Amino acid sequence: MKPFFSLCILLSGVVAAAAQVDRYWNATPNDVNNLLKSMKGKIDTDYAMDVKSIAEVDTDPEKNPILYRSGHYNFAYTPAERKKLREYLLAGGMIIYNTGLGSAPFYRSAKRELAEIFPEQPLQRLGSDHPIFHAYHDVDRVEYCAGVRAAGYKGNEPWFDGIEINCRVVALVSRWGMAVGWEGAVEEEFQAYQPDSAYQLGVNIFSYASSMRAWARNAAQAMTFVDKEASSTDKVMLAQVVYDGVWRTRHAGLSVLLQTFNRKTDIPVKFALKELRLSDPSIFNAPLLYLTGHEYFELNAKEKTMLRDYLNNGGFLFAEACCGRKGFDLAFRRLMQEIMPTRRLLRIDPKNSLFSLPNDVRTVGVTPTLAADLGKNTTSPWLEGLDMDGHFGVIYSPLGLAGGWEMSQSPYARGCNAVGSLQLGQNVLMYAVTQ
Residue 4 has a pLDDT of 53
Does one domain contain both 244 and 375?
A: yes
CA pair distance 84, 142, nearest whole angstrom = 34
Does one domain contain both 260 and 180?
A: no
Q: Average pLDDT of 412-426?
A: 96
Residue 22 has a pLDDT of 47
Q: Which domain holds residue 359?
A: 235-434
- Tell whether 108 is covered by a domain: yes
Does one domain contain both 259 and 337?
A: yes
Q: Average pLDDT of 146-166?
A: 96
Average pLDDT, the chain: 88
According to DSSP, the β-strands at 392-397 and 316-321 are parallel
- Tell whether 210 is covered by a domain: yes
- Tell whether 224 is covered by a domain: no
Q: What's the CATH code of the domain at 318?
A: 3.40.50.12140
Does one domain contain both 209 and 287?
A: no
How would residue 13 be classed by pLDDT, with cut points 50, 70 and 90?
Answer: very low
More confident of the two residues 142 and 39: 142
Final residue belonging to a domain, choices 168, 195, 219: 219
Does one domain contain both 211 and 247?
A: no
Does one domain contain both 104 and 17?
A: yes
Q: Would you give the distance in Å from CA 413 to the centre of its chain?
A: 10
- Tell whether 376 is covered by a domain: yes
Number of domains in the chain: 2
Query: Residue 33: is its pLDDT beyond 90?
Result: no
- Tell whether 260 is covered by a domain: yes
Query: Residue 428: is its pLDDT beyond 50?
Result: yes
Query: Residue 232: is its pLDDT beyond 50?
Result: no
Residue 30 has a pLDDT of 61
Q: Average pLDDT of 175-192?
A: 92
Does one domain contain both 336 and 202?
A: no
Can you list the positions of beta strands (E) in 366-427?
Answer: 378-379, 384-387, 392-397
pTM score > 0.75 for this model?
yes
**Packing angle, helices 301-312 and 326-339, rounded to 10:** 70
- Tell whether 199 is covered by a domain: yes
- Residue 401: Cβ within 10 Å count: 31
Residue 184 has a pLDDT of 82
Query: Residue 179: is its pLDDT beyond 80?
Result: yes
Asked if the peptide bond before residue 358 counts as cis, ω within 30 degrees of 0, the response is yes
Final residue belonging to a domain, choices 219, 243, 267: 219
Does one domain contain both 323 and 401?
A: yes
How would residue 6 be classed by pLDDT, with cut points 50, 70 and 90?
Answer: low
Q: Please say whether the beta carbons of 89 and 57 come within 8 A.
A: no
- Tell whether 228 is covered by a domain: no
- Tell whether 226 is covered by a domain: no
Query: Residue 407: is its pLDDT beyond 80?
Result: yes
Query: Residue 9: is its pLDDT beyond 60?
Result: yes
Query: Residue 93: is its pLDDT beyond 60?
Result: yes
Q: What is the pLDDT of residues 311-357, one digit of tens each?
A: 999 999 999 999 999 999 999 999 999 999 999 999 999 999 999 99
Does one domain contain both 262 and 204?
A: no
Does one domain contain both 205 and 282?
A: no
Query: Residue 235: is its pLDDT beyond 90?
Result: no
Does one domain contain both 174 and 262?
A: no
Percent of the residues in the chain that have a pLDDT greater than 70, as a whole number: 87
Final residue belonging to a domain, choices 219, 247, 275: 219
Helix (H) or strand (E) holding 288: strand 288-293
Does one domain contain both 126 and 267?
A: no
